Amino acid sequence: MGDSGLLLVLSGPSGVGKGTVCKALRERMPNLVYSVSATTRAPRAGEVEGVNYFFKTKAEFEEMIRQDELLEWAEYVGNYYGTPRKFVEETLASGRDVILEIEVQGALQVKKKFPQGIFLFLAPPDLTELQNRIVGRGTESEETIRHRMEVAKSEIELMDHYDYVVVNDVIDCACERIQAIITAEHLKKERQIHKFRKWLKEVN
């Protein structure tokens, strides 16, 4: 483990505020690296290669799948999306922490390939509040809202696969909880003891 960075995998049900919390956390922690996804969709105005996404052709992406170069991937509305393993591993090796904001099913894929990651489940204060947030978007039909709530319930049942549960009641409070987790993880004996063993060898 040594001086390598932490991979933080933040996920939770739709509407819980993953993107908002992730953005606020990165503002608080400018050294925290956001994991850049790969996609086959065309770049939108203002999007930059390697900043917003790694833009790939379908053939390139499918080759990445064959070569096991993705920690997770999915197909959505005719396009592929995924997390390149190389970007994550190189960033971690440089000693910087990486945060991956992702859906629950994707997080479970990552856990199979990178079990040493820190898996954070972002939860709503309660299901009523979660439904209010989805309704508050003003973009969903009643049928879609019902479907999202059923999916949310099934995703909450997968909470047992995570290391920590962070309730997103107030954004600043949620960020403080995650920062406390990051600090505690860096202070774990397994990440510190090699330094002291090195010092002892130097003394002898």
Q: Are residues 135 and 85 in the same domain?
A: no
Q: Are residues 2 and 103 in the same domain?
A: yes
Q: Are 98 and 7 in contact (CB under 8 A)?
A: yes
**143-154 tens-digit pLDDT:** 888 888 888 899
Euclidean distance between CA atoms 71 and 77, whole angstroms: 20
Q: Are residues 108 and 189 in the same domain?
A: yes
65-94 burial, b at 16+ Cβ within 10 Å, e below that, comes to eeeebbbbbeeeeeebbbbbbebbeebbee
Q: Are residues 146 and 59 in the same domain?
A: no
103 token code pair: 């859906």
Query: Above pLDDT 90, what percent of the chain?
Result: 65
**84-127 tens-digit pLDDT:** 999 999 999 999 999 999 989 899 999 999 999 999 999 998 88
Euclidean distance between CA atoms 151 and 86, whole angstroms: 31
CB burial of residue 12 (10 Å; 0-12, 13-18, 19+) = buried
pLDDT value of residue 202: 84
Q: Are residues 136 and 183 in the same domain?
A: yes
Q: Domain end: 44, 64, 95, which one?
A: 95
- The CA distances from residue 153 to 12, 107, 138, 148, 157, in Å, are 11, 16, 21, 9, 6
Q: Are residues 157 and 190 in the same domain?
A: yes
Whether the pTM exceeds 0.75: the reply is: yes
For residue 83, pLDDT over 90 is answered with yes
Average pLDDT, the chain: 91
Euclidean distance between CA atoms 122 and 17, whole angstroms: 8
For residue 75, pLDDT over 80 is answered with yes
Total count of domains within the chain: 2
Q: Are residues 141 and 60 in the same domain?
A: no
The range of the structural domain enclosing residue 81 comes to 36-95
Q: Give mean pLDDT, residues 168-187.
A: 96
Q: Are 121 and 17 in contact (CB under 8 A)?
A: no
Q: Domain end: 95, 118, 135, which one?
A: 95
Q: Domain end: 95, 118, 146, which one?
A: 95
